[in-house]
Amino acid sequence: MNKIKNYENKKVLVLGLAKSGVSAAKLLHELGALVTVNDFKQFDQNPEAQDLLTLGIRVVTGGHPIELLDEDFSLIVKNPGIPYTNPLVEKAVNMGLPVITEVELASQIAECPIVGITGTNGKTTTTTMIGLLLNADRKSGTARLAGNIGYPASEVAEKATPQDDIVMELSSFQLMGIQTFHPQIAVITNIYEAHLDYHGSRADYVHAKWEIQKNMQSNDFLVLNWNQPEIQKLSQTTKATILPFSTNEKVDGAYLEEDNIYYKGEFIMPATELGVPGSHNIENALAAICVAKLKNISTDSIRQTLKVFTGVPHRTQYVGEVAGRKFYNDSKATNILATEMALSGFDHSSLILLAGGLDRGNEFDELIPSLRGIKAIILFGETKDKLLHAAKKADVKSIQLTENVQSAVREAYDFSEKNDTILLSPACASWDQYPNFELRGEAFIQTMQQLKDIEK
């Protein structure tokens, strides 16, 4: 860790806890800052705040009192989930008080290169692929995953050595709070419309994503999805060296040609050998290959690693086979676009789709083209009637309504035949029946496992 002196005896406010807030508070305390932690949750229900208090860190809980800003703080480290419309944050910005996120703090103490990955879809899968690839040929050090993927960036940066790489997944929320953050390599998987409730407009959302490259120079590499004209246009405004990837055309980077993957003319592998299905995962693999090649990973190691990679939990994850039926868990598909991408990776004639969940008021007409030709669809949750309407328009031959994911798995299995695929890709959030998409995915896996036990 680079033991910077910037924060010695400086008053710093850490706003919001969770994993990243706890890590930031502990790190700042170690760097000599006078840390105050402010969290909305009451102290008696807040074990994280209680733990920090035992370390001698001041904690203020039960709300975000604006009066805290009277205390002459030098800096705020904000939890990414707290919006800039929060009154305390809004006032701090108006006062000219710097507001950063924990990834900025991590970059200041990191002694090793950072690979940063952002985008609307595919961030976690691409980050995981890159981590595996960078560890494939490694002689010294480790590629360490960090950031939005679930490992606090400041905690990872504190432990990393100069021989390591930090492979950091970055959300638009995190990127809004950077100042000097500077990845050696950055990846933008794609940009679609998302999080407008937080950002206010698509333009502000795109601007937040594009912040990943703002401190990059010509000796840094920016890996971009060349399928998107919007990203091509943005590429004209960066100082970084562009390395494109595309499934639509031959580019001076990684690309798909006649179902084979190439990097700058060199054959890498057939796309059919990738361990995860779907055109979106081909894009993810192309982005990861660009990073691996920049880091001098051999083609053989790239091929072997990507062949055995079966996906990230709840993201088109192959979870097993029961009596000749393959099961895929894509519970993370909480919107129509994600389900469209998942459906693109399967033979529709033998595919049984499980979908449904929270009703956010939208219709599912956009999904109709992707539903055409599938063998069956089993629907559950608040949106099952809306999805039923879309499935009928798509002329899906077999449509069943059921209660939840567990009953959907059982009904799909009873209907299916050997060599069929059963895919959970809900196109909806989980909150009508499950606290999060992870628990929804676990319900799918557990029910599949019960079927496997019965069939033994």
Range list for CATH 3.90.190.20 in the chain: 317-455
Sign (positive/negative) of CA torsion 329, 332, 334, 338?
negative
Q: Report the 3 state secondary structure along the chain.
A: CCCCCCCCCCEEEEECCHHHHHHHHHHHHHCCCEEEEEECCCHHHCHHHHHHHHCCCEEEECCCCHHHHHHCCCEEEECCCCCCCCHHHHHHHHCCCCEECHHHHHHHHCCCCEEEEECCCCHHHHHHHHHHHHHHCCCCCCEEEEECCCECHHHHHHHCCCCCEEEEECCHHHHCCCCCCCCCEEEECCCCCCCHHHHCCHHHHHHHHHHHHCCCCCCCEEEEECCCHHHHHHHHHCCCEEEEEECCCCCCCEEEECCEEEECCEEEEEHHHCCCCCHHHHHHHHHHHHHHHHCCCCHHHHHHHHHHCCCECCECEEEEEECCEEEEECCCCCCHHHHHHHHCCCCHHHEEEEECCCCCCCCCHHHHHHHCCCCEEEECCCCHHHHHHHHHHCCCCEEEECCCHHHHHHHHHHHCCCCCEEEECCCCCCCCCCCCHHHHHHHHHHHHHHHHHHHC
Which CATH number applies to 11-100: 3.30.1280.10, 3.40.50.720, 3.10.20.340, 3.40.50.620?
A: 3.40.50.720
- Distance, CA of 295 to CA of 230 (rounded, Å): 27
Looking at the DSSP bridge assignments, the partners of residue 421 are 326, 351
Answer whether CATH 3.90.190.20 is correct for domain 317-455: yes
- The closest of 123, 134, 193, 124 to 160, measured between CA atoms, is 134
Q: Which CATH number does 103-308 carry? A: 3.40.1190.10
- Distance, CA of 186 to CA of 301 (rounded, Å): 22
| Contact in structure between 429 and 357 (CB atoms under 8 Å) | yes
- Distance, CA of 173 to CA of 153 (rounded, Å): 14
For residue 94, which phi and psi values (nearest 5 degrees)? -65, -30
Q: What is the pLDDT of residue 312?
A: 87
Range list for CATH 3.40.50.720 in the chain: 11-100
The owner of tokens 């905690």 is 155
* Residues across the chain: 456
| Contact in structure between 354 and 378 (CB atoms under 8 Å) | yes
Looking at the DSSP bridge assignments, the partners of residue 185 are 115, 221
| Contact in structure between 22 and 51 (CB atoms under 8 Å) | yes
% of the chain residues with pLDDT over 90 = 87
- Please list the rounded mean pLDDT of every run of 10 residues in the chain (456 residues): 93 93 96 96 94 95 95 94 92 96 95 96 94 94 94 95 97 92 97 75 91 98 97 98 98 98 98 91 97 97 95 89 96 92 93 96 95 98 98 98 98 97 97 96 97 86
R_g of the chain, CA atoms, integer Å:
23
- The closest of 107, 141, 105 to 30, measured between CA atoms, is 105
Enter the pTM of the model.
0.84
The owner of tokens 């504190």 is 158
| Contact in structure between 120 and 205 (CB atoms under 8 Å) | no
Range list for CATH 3.40.1190.10 in the chain: 103-308
